[in-house]
Amino acid sequence: MEAKANGPSVNAGRVMDGPTNPMVTPLLTDLYQFTMAYAYWKAGKHNDRAVFDLYFRKNPFGGEFTVFAGLEECIKLIANFKLTEEEISFICETLPGSCEEGFVKYLRNIDCSDVEVYAISEGTVVFPKVPLLRVEGPVAVVQLLETPVLNLVNFASLVATNAARHRLVAGKSKMLLEFGLRRAQGPDGAISASKYCYIGGFDATSNVAAGRFFGIPLRGTHSHAFVSSFMSPDEILERSLHRSDGSSTCEDFVSLVQSWLSKIQWSKALGNSVGETNQSELAAFTSYALAFPNNFVALVDTYDVMRSGVPNFCAVALALNDLGYKSVGIRLDSGDLAYLSGEARKIFQIIEKEFELPGFGKTSITASNDLNEETLDALNKQGHEVDCYGIGTYLVTCYAQAALGCVFKLVEINNQPRIKLSEDVSKVSIPCKKRCYRLYGREGYSLVDIMTGENEPCPKVGERILCRHPFNESKRAYVVPQRVEELLKCYWPGKSGKVREELPALKDIRDHCIKQLEQMRPDHIRRLNPTPYKVSVSAKLYDFIHFLWLNEAPVGELQ
Amino acid sequence: MEAKANGPSVNAGRVMDGPTNPMVTPLLTDLYQFTMAYAYWKAGKHNDRAVFDLYFRKNPFGGEFTVFAGLEECIKLIANFKLTEEEISFICETLPGSCEEGFVKYLRNIDCSDVEVYAISEGTVVFPKVPLLRVEGPVAVVQLLETPVLNLVNFASLVATNAARHRLVAGKSKMLLEFGLRRAQGPDGAISASKYCYIGGFDATSNVAAGRFFGIPLRGTHSHAFVSSFMSPDEILERSLHRSDGSSTCEDFVSLVQSWLSKIQWSKALGNSVGETNQSELAAFTSYALAFPNNFVALVDTYDVMRSGVPNFCAVALALNDLGYKSVGIRLDSGDLAYLSGEARKIFQIIEKEFELPGFGKTSITASNDLNEETLDALNKQGHEVDCYGIGTYLVTCYAQAALGCVFKLVEINNQPRIKLSEDVSKVSIPCKKRCYRLYGREGYSLVDIMTGENEPCPKVGERILCRHPFNESKRAYVVPQRVEELLKCYWPGKSGKVREELPALKDIRDHCIKQLEQMRPDHIRRLNPTPYKVSVSAKLYDFIHFLWLNEAPVGELQ
């Protein structure tokens, strides 16, 4: 499968493909990154070695977990980070004042060969304060990366988390379809939502472009307009349909459908309750079945689900069955989904019995129409017969919380640790180039994440270690890990010579995410009052943070 | 200015540039549009002449108006709508079952030459139920357009409306900057937000890519990381600065700043209240001023706004003033913005007097930090001294309401009017190919929008016309318009030979939007309890809607 739009041609000969969206270039950044680059360059500081952490402060959607996503696109940006001459001219025209020739030369030469990126694997369940990415390199270059990397991680992680939350409430057995393209925040708000919803546990998308870019399974049937574009079955000119096995041809499939419809209408088992159905709907269903006899799915709510849509669907499905085809199911897009799915299920079961059609009772029921976590939860509580959900607006726009607040903070420059203070303790940054570990307990669940200074020894299996809350001195606990996982791996070694972690295939990221969620202690991921997962620092790092904090903070004067 | 990413190369020789984002191709659609196209083709109905209306049902953000945007991108998509061979192969692999050769040939030939698009001008203030776009053409092709056109209009109109609402509460005199790139929903969630916020009345963006694509003014200075990347002024090696007029050079600007700082620290007018300021901050400000002496803006809240940031800014600004440079101002990114802006203003005014610096009291104060409509409103109520707002997350993600619900409904096929029924009256569609007018009253304000059948006479100035609510029989009013504006204009004539309306420049769309908002009666656009604007149908259309409705709706049976 061809899976990429072409990146800017200047990047030909690059070590890996560019970002999916060709609009992701070094100009996709805030102007102040360029003004700062100029100021750093003027001050001769542009090559100062800086370390930045990318992290968030609070899990989204009132939950206690986040799925990290967006890494692959970040690495593709970094691998291809190079300004074109046109871009450089534009920057020079845009910077206030005149731009010195030396700076133009500098811009011409910058790339990410001297940058190192450590990151948590994409699809991992992550928590506040722990760096998702650690980016190290010349300060001016790393700052240019700040904005695009935040842009690529923030929405990706937000929507992957949203998808994972929808999966958790829907349950493993349901099919989940992402239907968000028409309401998403722009074209790649949609395309990237499709990608990251798949990572978060969705099964397929309606978005053809996303299917092509990423190889995500595609699903889709027909709309209300299709139904209302027909007037009556008389319109259908080509009425023949081969049997499924090719052995013969039914010359008038339309009449076969009509005859089944009248059997349904006169069926005692159905209580003689089926009256006249809508003929334009019947024509649309019949036409759709003629086009896709192996994949007949009908949208049954254009006129009236129980009085028209479901009987019309059953008539067409029974006619298809005569010719050896198995229908897929119906879609409900309005009304009381719990009630209607239950009523439709009853009809399918009666027909299975009445017309001896084994399996027809299990005909698939898809529900759509402004679904979200809350409505799925409400459906579960009421009881329903839905097998598959099509979820759009609330999923892809992350309607319940439309942004994740990842930040990118300087933690070290020229080997000097830096701290960002704030009146609000939750906004104080954790200084130093760090290592991060996840410690697992006896039951296989992860117990705590711990950050240490870069040169501290790695926590060891079976050895007791003190884990401290970074800012609350009374919160600390000893842990004896049964397994220790180092979280940050080298995804972009620059010229350091370190081994570069491979970027996994999308399917593998998805599998990793699903496995990760299965390994979480259930109380951390439940919807109602989830337990916060513990994030800690080593005793040594704790002491250093507080030493630095006192050192930097001005002593107040009460007047 | 070069203003475009390149569209797909297959579109070379096209009549106009392709969409800004090259990912906007005919594949950016729901799979069901292609399955329906196949089913229409199989049924021989693919060329049935269909008319679809694109409209929304409810204004966003609890308001009573919406700014229509996204038209230009739609027309660019339509003008370049052509499937490539690779795209066709992908569709054929993806459609369930085998894809007939005749359909492949059909796909190869489709374009929008037989499609006509009528639309309201981009940037116009619009209301529920009135078609923003009317798309007419072969049913299969128009349905393929449904999803991308909805995608391109929904977010564009939502974010333009959000921007306009922020402008209304901020007031005309304030400078509004869009700072949303890092938190936006993906790369072109950001780029398109920059474009449509500009249309909605913002003055500039921080997003360099958006500046380059669209020619939007760019703004940006420096971040907290820049401040904390410096240790002390000793680091600054290149200390000389030419006078603004080039007449001489100050060899040690750093010392000049230091001497001004001590004057400030010992100033009686400032109450001897300024103690030691942070030296890394002073170094950063000095460096930034050396790089941009004509555009010195300082972010003053890294350590302590009043005890460090403002005095350090003033010291650098006074030193710049000695050399003939006028500083721009400060940015506040945390804390109590009303209070801090007021305190900073006082200091600027004292310095203006004390050091005889005319105009210094008016030094610009920019505020940022999670601003939205509510916080702007609260600042207004408290009183503040902010001149300029930098607004990000809440603006570009439309946090208060992350999606607009535009729909695309079939209103006519082969000259037969179609209606989409629903249990919910607000979801019943208005059938027929229509004309739409805006009627203006004596005071120049618009009074009502009215939809008529296509062949009804146009409402005339000075002639009484009955305007009816489309679904509520008791709501109707006579209007004598002083001006009549036809809303829908032909933006894509296909091969009809009609004159094509030109797509205006972005700046003109913005001016149109601002003018439109000025022409609205204030109670329609106010934040609190706005008055709904009236949308009506002609008496003739009213009668026809209700005739068709009764005709299509099944008669219920109470059991």
Q: Are strands B116-119 and B133-138 parallel, antiparallel or unpaired?
A: antiparallel
Task: Give pLDDT, residue A13.
Answer: 43
**Domain residue ranges of chain A, discontinuous segments joined by +:** 9-164+401-552, 221-386
How many residues belong to chain B? 559
Task: Give pLDDT, residue B366.
Answer: 98
pLDDT in tens, A216-253: 999 998 999 999 999 999 989 899 999 999 999 999 99
| pLDDT, mean of residues B184-207 | 96
The alpha-carbon gap from A61 to the nearest alpha carbon of chain B, in Å, equals 13
Is the pLDDT confidence value at A210 over 70? yes
∠ Cα B212 B216 B219 (to 5°): 95
Which residues on chain A are in Cβ contact (under 8 Å) with B230?
45
∠ Cα B515 B519 B523 (to 5°): 130
- Residues contacting B541, CB < 8 A, separation 6+: B430, B432, B434, B451, B452, B453, B456, B470
pLDDT in tens, A290-347: 999 999 999 999 989 999 999 999 999 999 999 999 999 999 999 999 999 999 999 9
| pLDDT, mean of residues B216-227 | 94
Task: Give pLDDT, residue B275.
Answer: 81
Of B147, B212, B287, Cβ closest to residue A39: B287
Of A34, A183, A221, Cβ closest to residue B32: A221
Of A33, A35, A50, Cβ closest to residue B292: A35
Q: Kindly report the three-state secondary structure assignment for every residue of B172-220.
A: CCCEEEECCHHHCCCHHHHHHHHHHHHHCCCCEECEHHHHHHHCCCECC
B27:A208 CB<8 A: yes
The alpha-carbon gap from A159 to the nearest alpha carbon of chain B, in Å, equals 9
The alpha-carbon gap from A246 to the nearest alpha carbon of chain B, in Å, equals 14
Confidence of residue A1 (pLDDT cuts 50, 70, 90): very low
B235:A423 CB<8 A: no
CATH class name, domain A9-164+401-552: alpha beta
Size of interface A-B (CB pairs under 8 A): 390
Of A50, A223, A290, Cβ closest to residue B229: A50
Distances (CA, A) of A404 to A401, B323, B405, B542: 8, 44, 23, 47
Of B36, B94, B418, Cβ closest to residue A223: B36
Q: Which of A227, A228, A226, A255 is nearest to A240 (CA)?
A: A255
Q: Rounded distance, CA B406 to CA B130, Å?
A: 11
CATH of domain A221-386: 3.20.20
Confidence of residue B557 (pLDDT cuts 50, 70, 90): low
Q: Which of A326, A369, A381 is nearest to A348 (CA)?
A: A326
- Mean pLDDT estimate for chain B: 94
Cβ contact A469:A477 at 8 Å = no
Cβ contact A150:A163 at 8 Å = no
Confidence of residue A556 (pLDDT cuts 50, 70, 90): low
pLDDT in tens, A440-494: 999 989 999 999 999 999 999 999 999 999 999 999 999 999 999 999 999 999 9
Is the pLDDT confidence value at A422 over 90? no
Q: A465 - beta bridge partners?
A: A479
A292:B209 CB<8 A: no
Which residues on chain A are in Cβ contact (under 8 Å) with B552?
303
Which chain A residue has its CA at the smallest distance from B244's CA? A97
Cβ contact A159:A167 at 8 Å = no
Question: For an interface test with A, which of B188, B282, B336 has the most A Cβ atoms less than 10 Å from its Cβ?
Answer: B188
pLDDT in tens, B458-486: 999 999 999 999 999 999 999 999 999 99
Task: Give pLDDT, residue B271.
Answer: 78
B218:A399 CB<8 A: no
Task: Give pLDDT, residue A7.
Answer: 37
A185:B293 CB<8 A: no
B91:A409 CB<8 A: no
Task: Give pLDDT, residue A4.
Answer: 40
pLDDT in tens, B436-446: 999 999 998 99
Task: Give pLDDT, residue A553.
Answer: 74
pLDDT in tens, A53-98: 999 999 999 999 999 999 999 999 999 999 999 999 999 999 988 7
- B9-165+401-552 falls under which CATH superfamily? nicotinate phosphoribosyltransferase (3.20.140.10)
Helix pair B71-79, B139-170: axis angle to 10 deg: 160
A22:B5 CB<8 A: yes
The ipTM, to two decimals, is 0.95
Question: For an interface test with B, which of A10, A21, A23 has the most B Cβ atoms less than 10 Å from its Cβ?
Answer: A23
Residue B337 identity: L
Burial state string for A409-448 with b = 16 or more CB within 10 A and e = fewer than 16: bbbbbeeebbbbbeeeeeebbbbbbbbbbbbbeeeeebbb
- Residues contacting A317, CB < 8 A, separation 6+: A296, A327, A360, A363
Residue B211 identity: G
Of A30, A221, A421, Cβ closest to residue B35: A221
Instruction: List the alpha helices (DSSP H) in A110-203.
Output: 139-170, 187-199
A223:B143 CB<8 A: yes
Is the pLDDT confidence value at B554 over 80? no
- Mean pLDDT estimate for chain A: 94
- Residues contacting B50, CB < 8 A, separation 6+: A225, A229, B136, B137, B138, B139, B142, B143, B410, B412, B413, B414
Q: Rounded distance, CA A87 to CA B211, Å?
A: 11
Q: Are strands A489-492 and B49-55 parallel, antiparallel or unpaired?
A: unpaired
Region of residue B18 (phi > 0: left; psi between -120 and 50: alpha; otherwise: beta): beta
Q: Which of B417, B494, B502 is nearest to B141 (CA)?
A: B494
pLDDT in tens, A513-525: 999 999 899 999 9
Confidence of residue A270 (pLDDT cuts 50, 70, 90): confident
Give the fold, CATH level 3, of B166-396: TIM Barrel (3.20.20)
B182:A146 CB<8 A: yes
Which residues on chain A are in Cβ contact (under 8 Å) with B212?
27, 87, 90
pLDDT in tens, B106-120: 999 999 999 999 999
Q: Which of A510, A16, A6 is nearest to A215 (CA)?
A: A510
B397:A399 CB<8 A: no
Q: Does pTM top 0.90 for this prediction?
A: yes
Which residues on chain B are in Cβ contact (under 8 Å) with A401?
399
Confidence of residue B283 (pLDDT cuts 50, 70, 90): very high
Of B40, B225, B418, Cβ closest to residue A410: B225
Per cent of chain A over pLDDT 70 is 96
Residue A526 identity: R
Task: Give pLDDT, residue B4.
Answer: 40
